[in-house]
Amino acid sequence: MPIIVNLDVMMAKRKMSLNELSEKVGLTLSNLSILKTGKAKAIRFSTLEAICDVLDCQPGDILEYAGESADC
């Protein structure tokens, strides 16, 4: 998959557990786990905004494009 989810990296940098993030963002543990493991097919902007707000980061800190060609 050309999109890499670095949610676990940002959570580690902020020393935050999945449980804590789940409570602060208002998402279920299972939905956050699916996102964290890179199995999610989509993410709502409102969810991404809430995660970025709680983790004090930018969307690019969480999502990374790793396609064969970075030229768009």
Domains, the chain, in order of start with CATH, read 3-65 (1.10.260.40)
Element containing residue 22 per DSSP (H, E): helix 18-25
Report which DSSP code applies to 3: E
- Check whether 69 has a pLDDT greater than 70: no
31 CB-near residues (< 8 Å, 6+ apart): none
pTM of the entire predicted model: 0.87
- As a whole number, mean pLDDT of residues 6-12 equals 96
CB atoms within 10 A of CB 27: 17
Kindly report, residue by residue over 30-58, the tens digit of the pLDDT.
999 999 999 999 999 999 999 999 999 99
pLDDT of res. 21: 97
Instruction: Tell me the pLDDT of the chain averaged across its residues.
Output: 92
pLDDT of res. 70: 53
